[in-house]
């Protein structure tokens, strides 16, 4: 049974469970939010209209996730792969989530890679990567009937492409 203080977040329960499974034995806490340090930093390495790229603190993350149920309700998470880093504080988890888009009932499936830093058995840093195109497509005005600010999807796509070009250029520079 979900702790009443986390009842507003049940749409994310599959994500919470797979995250805790990936961090089993490394963090303390009965719920995902209990495993997070008060001053933890969350980086979202994807561009989505209205989605912040950085959040600071557990309370900020909880406030941000509170509206998740209005967009997507998850019904499962699987394909967990756990990688240990050379830095014993860092764990990398790969996983997939499955759910439905609230506005349309359309299926939603996405893949994630999260790079997590743990100190004193609490999450202090979480860097998240996902398939941005899948999320943008699932939540686009065409699939939800909602409207995004004019040009925001185009700007997000252009910014994402510019970042990929920069990373590719930097990678090629080191190969020569």
The answer to whether the pTM exceeds 0.75 is yes
Rounded Cα distance, 132 and 53, in Å:
13
Length of the chain measured in residues: 176
Rounded Cα distance, 135 and 45, in Å:
13
Rounded Cα distance, 9 and 12, in Å:
6
Q: Which long-range contacts (CB under 8 A, 24 or more apart) does 63-66 make?
A: 65/9, 65/12, 66/8, 66/9
Domains of the chain: 4-147 (3.10.450.50)
Could you read off the pLDDT of 67-77 as tens digits, one per residue?
A: 887 888 999 99
CB 46 within 8 A of CB 111: no
Q: Tell whether the model's pLDDT for residue 140 goes beyond 80.
A: no
Looking at the chain, the whole-number percentage of residues with pLDDT higher than 90 is 57
């Amino acid at each position: 049974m979900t702790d009443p203080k986390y009842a507003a977040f049940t749409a994310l329960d599959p994500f919470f469970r797979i995250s805790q499974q990936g961090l089993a034995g490394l963090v303390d806490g009965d719920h995902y939010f209990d495993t997070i340090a008060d001053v933890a930093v969350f980086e979202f390495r994807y561009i989505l209209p209205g989605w912040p790229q950085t959040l600071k603190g557990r309370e900020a993350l909880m406030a941000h996730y509170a509206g998740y149920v209005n967009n997507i309700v998850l019904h499962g998470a699987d394909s967990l792969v756990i990688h240990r880093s050379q830095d014993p504080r860092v764990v990398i988890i790969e996983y997939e989530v499955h759910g439905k888009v609230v506005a349309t009932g359309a299926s939603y499936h996405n893949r994630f890679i999260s790079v997590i830093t743990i100190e004193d058995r609490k999450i202090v840093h979480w860097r998240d990567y996902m398939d941005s195109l899948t999320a943008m497509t699932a939540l686009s005005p065409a699939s939800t009937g909602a409207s995004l600010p004019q040009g925001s999807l185009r700007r997000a796509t252009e910014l994402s492409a510019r970042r990929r070009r920069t990373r590719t250029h930097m990678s090629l520079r080191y190969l020569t």
